[in-house]
Amino acid sequence: MGFTFKTTPQIRFERNGAANIGALVKSRMSRPLFVTDKDILKFGLAETAFTSLKEAGVEFEVFDGVVADPPEAVINEAVEFAKAHNTDGVIGLGGGSSLDTAKLIAVLLKGKQSLHDIFGVDQVEGDRLPLILLPTTAGTGSEVTAISIVTTEDDRKVGIVSDQLYADVAIVDPVLTMTAPRKVTAATGIDAMVHAIEAHTSVRLRNPLSSTLAKQALQLMSANLIKACDTPDDIEAREAMCIGATLAGQAFANAPVGAVHAMAYPLGALFHVPHGVSNALMLSPVLKFNCEKAAEQYAELGPYVGVKADADAFVEKMIDLCKQSGVPLKLRDVGVNHNDLPRMAEDVIANTRLMQNNPREMSYEQALSLYQEVL
């Protein structure tokens, strides 16, 4: 057996780690751009990092225009903003959209390529600016992946995958996740669990390291998801969720995700459904569909979520966790109707980057049927 495993070169896991960012940034950049969204600023989640930067004497600018499923226009606006301020490094703080945006800014500022030039896999040429990422949710794992997702002008979600998108440093501070509302904690937690599941069943690049990380991630998150939802100030539960999300991120960065994500993408692009909610909606039908080919892998995951080594028991456990967390379980709950399903199914089948990793091949008719199952 041969495989390659890549990850972010430095991960700092620390309660109140954002308070120590100043010296770290100063050693790498002098005029950083701080990338986040307006809600992060509104709820004061950036203040600790801002204070640390100021105390270290770092002059920085803030771009707070990130929105969920960032569209091309926002990425390009951020790049122009950074150019106008002679940015020499990037700090991203927030959920996956902010971190994905920060990665792309760092790449596009350093090189001469346009955003369209780097769509796809391994299209980035050259290097990027120094990059530090701080997640505020235990979910996307974006702080340790070489992937950014962009919504195109024709409402499709496109992946950009390149080693240059790995950050120099990921600062995982569980305190930053403690104010997340229940619905965000639930959706992002399930998102991370989907990363782990799909990494373990990825038919193309699964390897012993990715599967080991995926199993450990699932064990941590399945034991702590509902606890973090019900008791948001439980720092130990938050820590477990953060570690689990980061491990799952490392897993799927090397063993890419499949049909759950491919079916979730149209929900985000067309209806702006939060990514974690989209994954939760499509998890049950895809797990059942994949069982024909992935029963052995699902059975292996059973003990890590507290059930016997049986595929059906594993699937039922995941469905139960979704129900307990309170995430939406029907497409109609997020504004989708039957007229939307054909376009969505077409997008799924067109997403060969993800579908090639799925343990079972899927036709247009099958994709349509899975959407109908949860309508």
- Same structural domain, 22 and 151: yes
pLDDT at residue 196 greater than cutoff 90: yes
Could you list the residue range(s) of the whole structural domain that residue 192 is in?
Answer: 181-373
- Same structural domain, 187 and 172: no
- Same structural domain, 149 and 202: no
Q: Give mean pLDDT, residues 66-86.
A: 95
The residues, any chain, with a CB within 8 Å of residue 31's CB and separated by 6 or more, are 59, 60, 61, 85, 86, 87, 88, 89
Q: What is the CATH number of the domain that holds 87?
A: 3.40.50.1970
Q: Give mean pLDDT, residues 302-313.
A: 97
pLDDT at residue 1 greater than cutoff 80: no
Average pLDDT taken over every residue of the chain: 96
Tell me if residue 58 falls in helix, strand or coil: coil
Structural domains in the chain (count): 2
- Same structural domain, 201 and 342: yes
Share of the chain above pLDDT 90, in %: 96
DSSP bridge pairs for 157? 151
Which one of 144, 176, 208 terminates a domain? 176
Backbone φ and ψ of 120, nearest 5°: 105, -155
Which one of 176, 209, 224 terminates a domain? 176
One-letter amino acid at 329 equals L
Summarised one tens digit per residue, pLDDT across range 77-101 is 999 999 999 999 999 999 999 999 9
Q: What is the pLDDT of residue 77?
A: 97
- Same structural domain, 209 and 302: yes
Q: Give mean pLDDT, residues 203-225.
A: 97
5 in any annotated domain: no
- Same structural domain, 217 and 169: no
- Same structural domain, 185 and 170: no
- Same structural domain, 202 and 268: yes
pLDDT at residue 69 greater than cutoff 90: no
Q: What is the pLDDT of residue 36?
A: 98
Tokens of 150: 């962009």
DSSP bridge pairs for 132? 91, 169
1 in any annotated domain: no
- Same structural domain, 142 and 243: no
Q: What is the CATH number of the domain that holds 225?
A: 1.20.1090.10
Tokens of 131: 């990059």
Summarised one tens digit per residue, pLDDT across range 123-172 is 999 999 999 999 999 999 999 999 999 999 888 889 999 999 999 999 99
- Same structural domain, 105 and 199: no
- Same structural domain, 325 and 244: yes
3 in any annotated domain: no
281 in any annotated domain: yes
Nearest in space to 83 (alpha carbons), one of 106, 116, 115: 106
Q: What is the pLDDT of residue 197?
A: 98
pLDDT at residue 323 greater than cutoff 80: yes
Q: Give mean pLDDT, residues 16-36.
A: 96
- Same structural domain, 264 and 360: yes
The whole-angstrom separation of Cα 143 and Cα 169 is 8
Which one of 176, 211, 236 terminates a domain? 176
242 in any annotated domain: yes
The whole-angstrom separation of Cα 82 and Cα 98 is 15
The whole-angstrom separation of Cα 314 and Cα 301 is 7
Q: Give mean pLDDT, residues 227-251.
A: 97
pLDDT at residue 317 greater than cutoff 90: yes
Q: Give mean pLDDT, residues 59-85.
A: 95
111 in any annotated domain: yes
